[in-house]
Structure formats: C-alpha cells, structure tokens
C-alpha cells in the first residue's frame, strides 16, 4: 500500500486552481470507471493530464502503475512534457505513457515467444507489407493485376481493426477477395510474418489481445500492474483497441476515458463511435462528467454548431456554452462558382493581412482535397503565402506529377525525364532492367529515350510482352502529339490520361486514397481551361513548383476537415457546402444514415475550429469530374439556426436564380427530412428571400427547352442544347465547352 502524502493545498498549484467545477470533478474522481464527455475547446486533454499529475502527487499509484494511452506520438510527447513541467523527476518512470501501438510493441517485446516471435522482431511498414502480400498472391497463382496486394492489405487491416484472426473471418467476408480466398491469404500472411520474425501495426494490438486471451497469468500480471488507466480521444478507438482496454481494466475498473462522441470522424480508419456511446453499459457503476464550458469559440459559433449536431440521433448529448460573449454570427455566403468562392475568400484573407492580423490564425478547411486546387491557384496568382497541412500541395501530388509527365510527352515526345517517370505507370511489364537498357542506350548514342526504345525494339533487344507494351506506349505518345492542336486543353488531357490507363488503374484501386486521387485528376483537367495551350499550362506549373515552400513568415493554412481536428484558428473558412460535396455523396451512398451522421460531425468539427469567426460558403455551380453541375446548398446549411447565422448574398450576381425552383428528383427524400428541406419543397417565387428559405426546389421534371434550343448563359455565353434530362440541360457553349446546367440558369434566344 502506497502512503498518502500530507494534505495538499491544490489552490496554490496553478493547474488545479484554474479548473472549473466539472473539470475538478473529473480530476478528483477517485475510483471506478469514468467517462469525461468533453466538447470541443473544453480543455479535455488538460483534464486528463492534470488527473494523471494528481494521481502521482497523491501517490495513488507509482509512475510505472499508470497506463496512459494517446492516439499520436505528438499528443503523448505533449502530455509527458506537461507532466514533467509540473512534477519533474516524479514523472521519469512513466514508461507506459504512449500510443496504443507503442504500448502494444512494448508488451510484445517482453513476451515474444508466446506469439512465436523473437524479442528483436521488426515492425513492417506499408511498403514491406505490400511486397509480402504480392509474393503470397503470386505463389497462390492469383492474378495480381485483378486482385491487387493493396486491396488485400486494406482488407486485412480492416479485419485486424475489428480484432479478427484468420479463423474468425466469416464466410461472407472471406469472399471479398479473390473469389473466397481472402481468409486463406490472411492466414498465409500471418504465417509468413512469423517466418520473417515480423509484425505489422495491426499485430501490435491484435497479438497483445491473443497474448492475454491465451495466457491468463500474463493478463493478470498486467491487470495488477496498472492501477489506473487513462485514455485520450476514446471516440476514435476501434474494436481491437476497445477489446484491449476492456481486458486490461477488467480487475481494477479504474479506467478514465476522455472523448467527444460529436467529434468521431474516423470510421474509415476503423473507429467505432459505438465504443463511447455504450460506455455506461460496458462499465458498470460508471460515472459520466460533461465538460461544456468552451474556452475557444464565441457564443454564436457554439450556438450554430450545437444546433447542427443536435440533428444526430447517435450521441450522448451536451450543450456547449461560453462566458466570452456572442461574437460574430456564422456567415453563410452564396457564390456563383468555385472560382468566385476562391476569389472572395482570398479577398477576406488579404483584408486580415491589411489589418495587421496574424495570417497564421486563418485556415481554409475543405471536405475533399480536390477543392484545394482553385485556392492554391488563386493564392499563387495574388502572392498570398499559404501552407498545405496534412499533405503535399496540389501540383506536388504524385498523381498530378504523373499526369503532367504524360502531358509533357504529348507536347514533346523526346522528353526523356517525363518518359522515365511514367514508362511503367500504370504497370506495363516494362521492368527496371528494361528501363536501364533504354537509359544506357540513350546515353551512349546521345538520343532521347523514346528513340532509344524504338531502336531497341527494331534490333530485337526487347521481345514478347515488353516489346508489345513499349511499342504500344510509343505509338500512343506520337498519336497524342498529333492531336495536340485538335482539341481544347481539358479534352486533350482527359483523352491522354484515359488512353494511358492511369485513370483505370486508380478506378480499380480500392484503397482509401484512390477516390480522392481520381477527383484530383478531374480537378487537374478543370485547371487547364484558362490556358491557351498545354505548353502555357506546363510553363505555369513549372513556375508554381519553384515557389519556396520553406519561406518564413505568416501563412494561411489549407487543409481537409479531417486534418483540422484538434486545431484552432481565429478565422475559419468552410467552402463547398453543397449536396454531393458536403455531405459527401459517396460516403452517404456507402454508409447510409451512419455516414450522414459522421458527415454532420465533420461539419461540427469544422465550425468549432474557429475562435472568432466561422464563414461557410456554398456555390450555385460546381465542376465535378470535368462536368459543370448546378449545385444545391448542403442540408447542413438548412440545419444552422437563424439566430446564430447571417446569410450573405452580396457576392452572388444572380442571387434569385439560386433560390428559384430546382429539380428535387436527384435526392433521396427518405434521408432528407430536415425542416429546411420541407421548406424548399413548398417555396414559391412570391415568398421573400429570407435565411429560413435556403432550399428552393420544385418537383416538376418538364423542361421548357428542347434539343436544338439556342440559349444564353450569364457566364458561358450563347450555346445550343444537345440533350434534355428533366430540368438538366447539356449545352454546347462553343469555346466555353459542353456543360450540364439547370435550365433556370439560361434564357432562350
């Protein structure tokens, strides 16, 4: 039994004296399960850290008897630094403070023989895993082109996140890969890992669970060791992590989890929001403490976010408030298209700079990475410094560099660097050995690689599949070159990338990133429109790529909503709040109501990143997959409360058009039952343009236009109707290209 220290006057210790009442309750909770339900900006990590410090200074446990789990190394390091700052040497023994994976690895290295490994086992990265799975697929005589190792890796990762071993894979799930061979391949993969004395990241949790389940004495030793368990971001735990926590805390019951069900946005990583929702059922006699006082945002921002998230049914419930005043209302701005959206936001950011406010305190948060392109182009053109958080800049992304290499080849077939980059992307059976022969011959004879390739085909150096693939690629490049002046830029680019097989490669790729990469490529096609030629575009890109990424000074942050979680800024800009973009249509199609609720949580996260001002934008038109569509404001716009928001129409040149009748038929009405949606259905031209009337769509499918009608569009000019689909028109605008628009945006000539 550890002796208690003498009575401590916590009011004299700053980190304790500044705790509010609910925070204090959480910090000084003694024994038994505790869930700290902490809203955005309520100081949840500080509470967890302060609780750990209190347990140490009161000697409730020794440093080695505390298990403290975070989700990132950064969070673990920050927590450790805070503890060190407060109690110094007393914290030196916190060997069990870290991420799930680091703690799992530590446990496994103490007992490697129990899981058929040695204590010097290696942890494989994604590339190592992919190569190993590729070899297994080949060994099993499975077509690796049809059944990609990356798809199998993603599937195995999902199984491990669920805590499933090969023998636990159901008959339905094993059919997901190679016509029922998924279970067998998973088992072979695990066997191969043991043979190589290796584990992957999933094993660092899964194998610990197996260790504990098969060795009750070892489990009991860890249950006795850890007197208290503390968990950050509990809403982000997957099934395997949940199982591990249940096993470890089963005896002491002293588990304290901090999290926010309203910020659970990582289901695509395996996170299960149900883990936090059922905490009271899982842990008997548990206590829930709600942290609702927000120290980040103003009253109007919190009011808007709170009313929005109330539409979710799967939540425990809390209401955020602040004592800092109402501040500015959430501004909802309508714009004509993505370009105007980028222009208006850029103007606002320039205004921030002119007022000598810190540009580092401003961020643009997008739902999908393809949306970044228009902002990057605008920022570059006006010289506004920016940084992309959580990924490369648009033109630096691998798929964009690959596509640009193909465009360079079409413009100049003798561009050897471009050919070298894409000669076997997608896979054509032209391996490194063949590429080296081409490169060496090119260098020896001082000729471009495409000419060297042709010579090596003629002299029979290459035969079979290599010869066939290389010849096909050469012919494609010269055909593209011949077409360079016969098509407009985006048509030519789309033809080239389709012909190359690159888009098809990505469409077949079922990894988590493939859809985003396809969207980025279509955004690339769109970016070509303003340029007079492919050459002009490529010259522009060369200049863009030369911009110094490491320049000092203030920069606006550009990132996805997912990347923004945990961050805060004075000024937040939220573009693209339209149906299909946000909420994301693919997410809803695949996940139904559960995915819709996660999209709404993502909207909540976005709004609550703002300390002073949150600005939302929706566009009347959006170019998606190289096609113009007339957009409908996001249902989330409808769900924002009137008293916390302000509708700004000042930038929309034809504002009434947006609020005229649109076709209702494309949307799933069963999933779309908000008051705003109902108001939209009943909207008439005689009604006033008030904020409460954000959706304005009619049920009629009969168009007043027909094929061959001559029309005029306020932006694209005169055009001819090619086809009619309800209220949707496909129109050839000549130089403006062929576009799909709603009939409300054109007039008949």
Positions marked active-site? 44-45, 232-233, 263, 609
Chain-centroid distance, C-alpha 656: 34
- Identify which of 702, 721, 699, 726 has the alpha carbon closest to the alpha carbon of residue 710: 721
Using a CB cutoff of 8 Å and minimum separation of 24, what contacts does 424-432 make? Answer: 425/502, 425/505, 426/500, 426/501, 426/502, 426/504, 426/505, 427/145, 427/505, 428/469, 428/470, 428/472, 428/473, 429/465, 429/466, 429/469, 430/466, 430/469, 430/470, 430/473, 431/466
Q: Which residues contact 704 (CB under 8 A, 6 or more apart)?
A: 743, 748
C-alpha–C-alpha distance, residues 171 and 165, integer Å = 13
Q: Which residues contact 613 (CB under 8 A, 6 or more apart)?
A: 301, 327, 328, 331, 570, 571, 572
Structural contact between residues 71 and 233, judged by C-beta atoms closer than 8 angstroms: yes
User: What single-letter DSSP state applies at residue 237?
Assistant: -
User: What single-letter DSSP state applies at residue 592?
Assistant: H
User: What single-letter DSSP state applies at residue 714?
Assistant: T
The helix-helix angle for 239-249 and 203-214 (nearest 10°) equals: 40
C-alpha–C-alpha distance, residues 588 and 596, integer Å = 6
Give the burial class of 356: count Cβ atoms within 10 A of its Cβ; 0-12 exposed, 13-18 middle, 19 or more buried: exposed
Phi, psi values for residue 697, rounded to 5°: -130, 140
User: Helix H segments across 215-266?
Assistant: 216-225, 239-249
C-alpha–C-alpha distance, residues 108 and 169, integer Å = 24
Q: Which residues contact 280 (CB under 8 A, 6 or more apart)?
A: 35, 286, 288
SS3 204: helix
The helix-helix angle for 100-110 and 239-249 (nearest 10°) equals: 60
- Identify which of 708, 628, 698 has the alpha carbon closest to the alpha carbon of residue 660: 698
Q: Both tokens of residue 428?
A: 């054509």
What are the angstrom distances between the C-alpha of 130 and each of 127, 503, 511, 605? 5, 21, 12, 34
* 527-563 CB burial, b ≥16 within 10 A, e <16: bbeebeebeebbebbeebeeeeeeeeeebbbbbbbbb
C-alpha–C-alpha distance, residues 17 and 15, integer Å = 6
C-alpha–C-alpha distance, residues 580 and 563, integer Å = 20
Indicate the Cα dihedral angle 729, 734, 737, 739, nearest 10°.
-10
- Identify which of 102, 98, 40 has the alpha carbon closest to the alpha carbon of residue 68: 98
Q: Which residues contact 50 (CB under 8 A, 6 or more apart)?
A: 15, 16, 19, 23, 27
C-alpha–C-alpha distance, residues 603 and 333, integer Å = 16
Chain-centroid distance, C-alpha 706: 41
């Amino acid at each position: 039994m550890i002796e208690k220290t003498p009575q401590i006057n916590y009011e004299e210790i700053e980190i304790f004296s500044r705790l509010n009442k609910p925070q204090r309750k959480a910090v000084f909770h003694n024994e038994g399960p505790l869930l700290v339900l902490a809203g955005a900006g309520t100081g949840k990590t500080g509470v967890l850290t302060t609780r750990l410090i209190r347990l140490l200074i009161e000697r409730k446990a020794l440093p080695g008897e505390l298990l403290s789990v975070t989700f990132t190394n950064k969070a673990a390091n920050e927590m450790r630094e805070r503890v060190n700052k407060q109690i110094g040497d007393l914290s030196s023994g916190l060997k069990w403070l870290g991420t799930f994976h680091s703690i799992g690895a530590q446990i496994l290295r103490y007992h490697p023989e129990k899981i058929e490994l040695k204590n010097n086992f290696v942890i494989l990265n994604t590339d190592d895993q992919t190569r190993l799975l590729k070899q297994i697929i080949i060994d099993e005589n499975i077509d690796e082109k049809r059944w990609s190792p990356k798809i199998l890796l993603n599937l195995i990762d999902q199984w491990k996140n669920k805590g499933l071993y090969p023998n636990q894979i159901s008959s339905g799930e094993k059919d997901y890969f190679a016509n029922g061979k998924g279970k067998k391949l998973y088992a072979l993969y695990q066997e191969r890992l043991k043979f190589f004395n290796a584990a992957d990241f999933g094993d660092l949790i899964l194998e610990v669970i197996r260790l504990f389940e098969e060795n009750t004495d070892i489990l009991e030793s860890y249950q006795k060791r850890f007197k208290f368990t503390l968990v950050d971001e509990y809403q982000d735990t997957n099934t395997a992590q949940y199982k591990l926590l249940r096993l470890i805390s089963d005896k002491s019951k002293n588990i304290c989890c901090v999290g926010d069900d309203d910020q659970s946005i990582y289901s695509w990583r395996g996170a299960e929001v149900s883990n936090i929702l059922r905490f009271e059922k899982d842990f008997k006699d548990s206590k829930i403490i709600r942290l609702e006082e927000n120290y980040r945002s103003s009253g109007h921002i919190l009011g808007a976010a709170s009313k929005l998230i109330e539409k979710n049914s799967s939540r425990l419930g809390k209401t955020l408030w602040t004592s800092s005043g109402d501040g500015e209302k959430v501004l909802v701005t309508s714009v004509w298209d993505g370009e105007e959206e980028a222009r208006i936001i850029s103007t606002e950011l320039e205004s921030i700079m002119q007022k000598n406010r810190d540009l580092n305190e401003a961020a643009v948060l997008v739902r999908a990475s393809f949306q970044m392109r228009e902002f990057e182009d605008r920022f570059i053109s006006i010289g506004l410094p920016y940084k992309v958080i959580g990924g490369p800049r648009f033109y630096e992304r691998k798929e964009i560099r690959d596509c640009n290499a193909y465009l360079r080849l079409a413009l100049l077939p003798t561009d050897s660097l471009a050919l070298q980059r894409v000669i076997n992307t997608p896979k054509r059976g032209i391996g490194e050995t063949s590429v080296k022969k081409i490169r060496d011959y090119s260098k020896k004879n001082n000729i471009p690689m495409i000419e060297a390739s042709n010579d090596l085909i003629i002299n029979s150096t290459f035969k079979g599949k290599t010869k066939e693939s290389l010849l096909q690629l050469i012919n494609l490049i010269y055909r593209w070159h011949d077409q360079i002046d016969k098509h407009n830029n985006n048509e030519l680019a789309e033809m080239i990338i389709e012909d190359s097989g690159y888009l098809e490669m990505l469409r077949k790729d079922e990894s988590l990133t493939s859809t985003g990469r396809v969207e980025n490529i279509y955004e690339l096609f769109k970016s070509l429109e303003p340029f007079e030629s492919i050459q002009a575009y490529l010259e522009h890109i060369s200049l863009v790529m030369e911009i110094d990424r490491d320049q000092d000074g203030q920069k606006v942050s550009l990132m996805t909503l997912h990347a923004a979680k945990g961050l805060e800024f004075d000024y937040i800009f939220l573009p693209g709040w339209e149906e299909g973009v946000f909420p994301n249509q693919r997410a809803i199609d695949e996940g139904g109501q559960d995915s819709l609720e996660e999209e709404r949580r993502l909207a909540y996260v976005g709004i609550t990143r703002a300390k002073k001002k949150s600005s939302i934008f929706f566009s009347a038109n959006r170019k998606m997959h190289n096609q113009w569509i007339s957009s409908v404001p996001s249902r989330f716009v409808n769900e924002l409360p009137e008293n916390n928001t302000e509708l700004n129409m000042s930038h929309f040149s034809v504002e009434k058009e947006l609020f005229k009748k649109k076709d209702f038929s494309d949307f799933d009405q069963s999933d779309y039952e908000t008051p705003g949606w109902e108001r939209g259905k009943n909207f008439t031209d005689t009604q006033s343009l008030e904020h409460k009337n954000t959706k304005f769509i009619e049920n009629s499918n009969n168009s007043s236009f027909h094929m061959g009608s001559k029309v005029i569009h306020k932006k694209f000019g005169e055009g001819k109707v090619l086809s009619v689909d309800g209220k949707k028109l496909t129109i050839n605008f000549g130089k403006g290209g062929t576009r799909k628009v709603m009939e409300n945006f054109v007039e008949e000539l």
